[in-house]
Amino acid sequence: MQICYYPGEPNLMANELVNVTHHGDVLVATVNNPPVNALSPGVPEGIEAAVVAARANSSVKAVVIIGGGRTFVAGADIKELEQAAAGHGSAPKLHGLLEQIEDCAQPVVMAIHGTALGGGLEVAMAGHYRVAVPGAQLGQPEVNLGIIPGAEGTQRLPRLVGLAAAVDLCVSGKAIKAEEALALGLVDRIIEGDLLAGALAFAREMAEKGGPHPKTRELSRKLGSPTENAGIVAAGREQARKTRRNLIAPLAAIDALEAAVALPFDEGCRKEREIITELLGTDQCRALIHAFFAERAVSKIPGLPKDLPPIPVRQAAIVGAGTMGGGIAMAMANAGIPVLLKDSDQAALDRGVSAIRKNYEGSVKKGRFSQDVMDQRMALIHPQLTSAGFEAADLVIEAVFENLALKKQIFTELDRVMKPGAVLATNTSTLDIDAIAGATSRPDMVIGLHFFSPAHVMRLLEIVRGRNTSPQVIATALSLAKTLRKVGVLVGNCWGFVGNRMMLPYMREAQFLAEEGAAPQQVDQALYDWGMAMGIFAVDDMGGIDVQWRVRQEHPEPAGLRSPLVLNQLYQMGRLGQKTGAGWYRYDENRRALPDPEVTALIRETAAKNGIPQRTISEAEIIERCIYVMINEGARILDEGIALRASDIDTVYLAGYGFPAYHGGPMWYADTVGLAKIYRRIEEFHNQHGPHWEPAPLLRRLAAEGGTFASLDAEKAREERVAAN
Ligand code: NAI
């Protein structure tokens, strides 16, 4: 029976978000705020009302707080955080609720399934006891949004698990499983079987045992000595600088944790509040929150009916068992989808399968999964030299060499063998989807599925819509991305789509900088320090100088525009990058990149021969030229409708190109710098370096109007909402 309990105080009413039921002498408060029971307005109030009611009712012997649906409270309401970060309101304050829970004379048991993350875990830690189902996940991921646990989490967590584990959890932001949480002391009992029944039994057991029940804020056993703590804090800071490069929040979390072990609880809480208030206004926090919402926005496709059912992919096929085909086969097998993997060449097929096996063996060795899991996955991949069985596949992905004539020929063949209704996809990274679709009698079923290397690891999937691609095929691609646990971003058909189209001018500009006097390692260092996962010359060497060279052959600069000069020479010298041990860098036996005087000399010689004056180039100019050139291209991409939103371009760069999330992606970063400033610099570069720097019309317009890419996105979203209603 469900009874809503109204204790009479209007601001403390149990509500539709939190149901209160009585199971004998145990009061159960169930949070019902789908999909993830976030702490939206009303939820803390509802829980507090339930606890207040229990405290006032002597027939209630214990309290259980549990999540309805698929999870416990999974975290804060990030919309609220976004508002606070934008300066409207503050982070939700849970102090009153946490105190009510902790001061309750009856035992309060938190019953956890699904996830207890962020604010969810902070609420759970105020309970006297926590029980969880096996595999439930607990964590403080706030640093990933540029903040720290701000509802006393940094003060309670070390009291439960000790400082070292608390530093690890708050700095990494990772979630741990209930079993590990039990070992750490964050969970008191694992409940096999029905969670509510187990939690009720546990609550009665604790009530029977009698109070006082442990208040986390009063625990001190695990707080450690000042000397021990100083060592942990120092090691934590070093770790944070290494693993969370350039991020403010992880270091700030350690400051708050340090306060927890050094100060009384209330003073520590004050310190925590000061720190989170400061962090909420930072560019990093705003950028990370933007990145969070940008990733969720990609599945909103204007004009695509929400109820359009995707085609179920029960059997997949792949043509080409090379780097990409093998990786895609693994991505499919990892998601439990059987896949036929065809290559035209026995040796290539054998190489492909052996690369897959090696990869899986590595994972088993590292303990990521068991041998059994590996065997199951290998069994889902069927290597073959023919198209046998393709007729039963729901989806085929072509991943042969990047050659239009070859791809057309393959698609003509696929059109012949695949059943009607099957999706025909290509993994091309630059070629024209419409030209490929034109080789079939069913261009509506053709789509680009551009995976990134290694395809079983990289999260980005660019979904390239051709002129005739049907809405259902788009819906299928988006749904497949989810099944493969990837971020599917729908983009339009043009050379290089979104990601590689912006990459080309970025690479070109970096090479121009080198020709003007900045060494490749100087350019790379500046980009790395700014936050890119890798420098661009190192990326070039990893992807292969030959690959770049071929791209430039097939997609030369428009007539009259200067091309970078040194790349061709590296190609001709056979310096193809990591695979030949030398490219822009020299590589030692551990694949470490070493600056190469031979390359420096080559660049200087080339510059001299071509009359390129040499000068000292600042880090600031390197960043401006490399990043602004991408932004300028991004503005064109947006203007042409190749990307649906500026935030989609950001997601492409965050999920696929190692762009630092704390800058929010190239378009968000442009907004934070200010479009007028960026436009002015681009004009200057245009005057100094010529037509490559022609400012994008959209950028010019927004700069003149004082607009931002974010406001343009918001305006479009409003129009779409109006059109949909
Ligand atoms: P790869 O050279 O490693 O593999 C291509 C495979 O296709 C080879 O095993 C070859 O034997 C096979 N093949 C060639 N003709 C065939 C035919 N007629 N029938 C069956 N198999 C045939 O190439 P990679 O790097 O895997 O690239 C494949 C595609 O993916 C290209 O279109 C490329 O542009 C694209 N791509 C590559 C990325 C990368 O980082 N390598 C990233 C994203 C897309």
Q: Ligand 1 centre and the CA of 343: distance in Å?
A: 10
The structure tokens listed for 346 are 């026995």
Question: Which pairing describes strands 26-31 and 487-491: parallel, antiparallel, or unpaired?
Answer: unpaired
Give the residue among 68, 213, 219, 75 at the shortest CA–CA distance from 144: 75
Q: How many angstroms separate the CA atoms of 320 and 348, rounded?
A: 9
Token pair belonging to 330: 């693994």
Distance, CA of 212 to CA of 645 (rounded, Å): 56
Q: What is the pLDDT of residues 397-456, one digit of tens each?
A: 999 999 999 999 999 999 999 999 999 999 999 999 999 999 999 999 999 999 999 999
500 lines ligand 1 (CB under 6 A): no
567 neighbors 515 (Cβ within 8 angstroms): no
**How would you classify the pairing of strands 460-464 and 446-451?**
antiparallel
3-state helix, strand, coil in the chain (%, to 5): 55, 10, 35
Domain with CATH 3.40.50.720 in the chain: 316-492
**How would you list the strands of the sheet with 18-23, edge to edge?**
18-23, 26-31, 62-67, 108-112, 129-132, 189-190
Q: Is 324 in the pocket of ligand 1 (CB under 6 A)?
A: yes
* Distance (Å) from CA 326 to ligand 1 centroid: 9
Give 13's pLDDT tier (boundaries 50, 70, 90): very low
Q: Is the pLDDT of residue 12 over 50?
A: no
What span, in angstroms and rounded, lies between the C-alpha atoms of 725 and 606? 61
Q: Which of 45, 80, 142, 295 is catalytic?
A: 142
Place of tokens 């971020």: 487
CA distances (Å), origin 511, targets 117, 430, 537, 607: 45, 21, 8, 11
Q: Looking at the CA of residue 430, tell me the nearest atom of ligand 1.
A: 34
Q: Is the CB of 400 under 6 A from ligand 1?
A: yes
Are 444 and 468 contacting, i.e. CB atoms less than 8 angstroms apart? Answer: yes
Residues spanned by CATH 3.90.226.10 within the chain? 18-280
Catalytic position from the list 45, 48, 80, 122: 122
Query: Ligand 1 centroid vs 304 CA: distance in angstroms?
Result: 31
Given this model, what pLDDT does residue 721 score?
85
For 342-399, how does the pLDDT look when each residue is reduced to its tens digit (9 = 90+)? 999 999 999 999 999 999 999 999 999 999 999 999 999 999 999 999 999 999 999 9
Cβ–Cβ under 8 Å, residues 42 and 17? yes
pLDDT in tens, 300-357: 999 999 889 999 999 999 999 999 999 999 999 999 999 999 999 999 999 999 999 9
Predicted local distance difference test score (pLDDT) of residue 1: 28
In contact, 527 and 622? CB cutoff 8 Å: yes
Instruction: State if residue 429 touches ligand 1 by the CB under 6 angstroms criterion.
Output: yes
* Residue 184: pLDDT over 90: yes
Q: Is the model's pLDDT at 528 over the cut of 60?
A: yes
Please report the pLDDT score of residue 82 as a whole number.
Answer: 86
148-161 tens-digit pLDDT = 999 999 999 999 99
| 295 carries an active-site annotation | no
- Average pLDDT value over all residues in the chain: 95
Q: Give the Å distance between the CA of 415 and the centre of ligand 1.
A: 19
- Assign 5 a pLDDT band (cuts: 50, 70, 90): very low
Candidates 3.90.550.10, 3.30.70.20, 3.90.226.10, 3.50.50.60; CATH matching 18-280: 3.90.226.10
Q: Which helix (H) or strand (E) holds 574?
A: none
Question: Does the C-beta of 344 come closer than 6 Å to ligand 1?
Answer: yes
Locate the ligand 1 atom nearest the alpha carbon of residue 453 and give its number.
Answer: 40
Where does 210-322 have alpha helices with state H?
Answer: 226-243, 249-262, 265-280, 283-297
Ligand 1 binding pocket mutation candidate from 385, 396, 429, 449 (most atoms within 8 A of CB)? 429
Contact 531 CB / ligand 1 (< 6 Å)? no
Can you read off the two tokens belonging to residue 659?
Answer: 């762009």
DSSP 146: T
621 lines ligand 1 (CB under 6 A): no
Structural tokens at position 712: 């343009």
Share of the chain above pLDDT 70, in %: 98
How would you classify the pairing of strands 395-398 and 381-384?
unpaired
Q: How far is the CA of 407 from the centre of ligand 1 (A)?
A: 10
CATH of domain 500-641+644-717: 1.10.1040.50
Distances (CA, A) of 203 to 33, 62, 109, 188, 229: 24, 6, 6, 12, 34
51 Cα to the center of ligand 1, angstroms: 61
Nearest to 168 by CA among 244, 248, 276: 244
Q: Whose CA is nearest to atom 29 of ligand 1?
A: 399
* DSSP letters for 158-198: HHHH-HHHHHHHHHH--EEEHHHHHHHTS-SEE--S-HHHH
CB hemisphere CA count around 102 (13 angstroms): 19
pLDDT score for 10 = 35
Q: Which residues of the chain are in CATH 1.10.1040.50 domains?
A: 500-641+644-717
Q: Does residue 658 carry a pLDDT above 60?
A: yes
Testing ligand 1's pocket by substitution, the residue of 323, 386, 464, 548 carrying the most ligand atoms inside 8 A of its CB is 323
Task: Determine whether the shortest distance from the Cβ of 325 to ligand 1 is under 6 A.
Answer: yes
Please indicate whether residue 7 or residue 33 has the higher confidence score (pLDDT).
33
Strands 26-31 and 18-23: antiparallel
Does residue 319's CB lie within 6 angstroms of at least one atom of ligand 1?
yes
Atom of ligand 1 nearest to the CA of 352: 9
| Probe residue for ligand 1, chosen from 356, 386, 400, 408 as the CB with the greatest number of ligand atoms within 8 Å | 400
Whether residue 461 has its Cβ less than 6 Å from ligand 1: no
Q: Locate the ligand 1 atom nearest the alpha carbon of residue 410 and give its number.
A: 18
For the residues 651-666, what does the mean pLDDT come to?
A: 97
Query: Would you say the CB of residue 639 lies under 6 angstroms from ligand 1?
Result: no
What does the pLDDT average to over 178-185? 98
Ligand 1 site, residue 428, Cβ cutoff 6 A: yes
Residue nearest atom 17 of ligand 1, based on CA coordinates: 344
Query: What burial letters (b/e) apply to 257-293, b meaning 16+ CB within 10 Å?
Result: bbbbbeeebeebbebbbebbeebbebbbbbbbbbbbe
pLDDT above 60 (res 2): no
Question: Which residue's CA is the nearest one to ligand 1's atom 43?
Answer: 452
Q: Is 142 in the pocket of ligand 1 (CB under 6 A)?
A: no
φ, ψ at 283 (rounded to 5°): -60, -40
- For the segment 167-180, what is each residue's pLDDT rounded down to a tens digit? 999 999 999 999 99
* pLDDT (mean) for 571-583: 95
Q: Is the CB of 619 under 6 A from ligand 1?
A: no
- Kindly report, residue by residue over 196-232, the tens digit of the pLDDT: 999 999 999 999 999 899 999 999 999 989 999 999 9
Centroid of ligand 1 to alpha carbon of 327 (angstroms) = 11
CB of 426 sitting under 6 A from ligand 1: no
- Name 391's Cβ contacts closer than 8 Å, sequence gap at least 6: 417, 418, 419
Q: φ, ψ for residue 115 (rounded to 5)?
A: -130, 145
Tell me the mean pLDDT in the region 55-60: 96
- Cα(609)–Cα(595) distance, integer angstroms: 22
How far apart CA 390 and CA 61 sit, in angstroms, is 64
pLDDT(571) > 90? yes
Nearest ligand 1 atom to alpha carbon 348: 9
Within 13 Å, how many C-alpha atoms sit on residue 541's CB side? 26
81-95, 380-394, 578-592, 694-708: lowest mean pLDDT where? 81-95
Q: Which are the contacts of 115, defined by CB distance < 8 A and separation ≥ 6?
A: 36, 71, 72, 74, 75, 136, 137, 138, 139, 175
* Cα of 310 from ligand 1 centre, angstroms: 27
Protein residue with its CA nearest to atom 12 in ligand 1: 320
Q: Tell me the β-bridge partners of 460.
A: 487
> Residues 41-54: pLDDT tens digits?
999 999 999 999 99
For residue 427, how far is its CA from the centre of ligand 1 (angstroms)?
8
Report pLDDT for 722.
86
Cα angle 52-27-34, degrees, rounded to a multiple of 5: 90
| Ligand 1 centroid – CA 321 distance (Å) | 7
Which stretches of 418-498 are DSSP H helices? 433-437, 471-483
Contact 37 CB / ligand 1 (< 6 Å): no
Q: Which pLDDT belongs to residue 14?
A: 57
Q: Is the CB of 409 inside a 6 Å radius of any atom of ligand 1?
A: no
Q: 401 C-alpha to center of ligand 1: Å?
A: 4
C-alpha–C-alpha distance, residues 668 and 657, integer Å: 15
Question: 343: Cβ below 6 Å to ligand 1?
Answer: yes
Centre of ligand 1 from the C-alpha of residue 225, in Å: 58
Give the mean model confidence (pLDDT) for residues 524-552.
Answer: 94
Over 90: is that where the pLDDT of 723 sits? no
> Which DSSP symbol is given to 15?
B
Instruction: Clarify whether 391 is annotated catalytic.
Output: no
Topology of domain 316-492 in CATH is: Rossmann fold (3.40.50)
Mapping DSSP to helix (H, G, I), strand (E, B) and coil, where does residue 26 land? strand
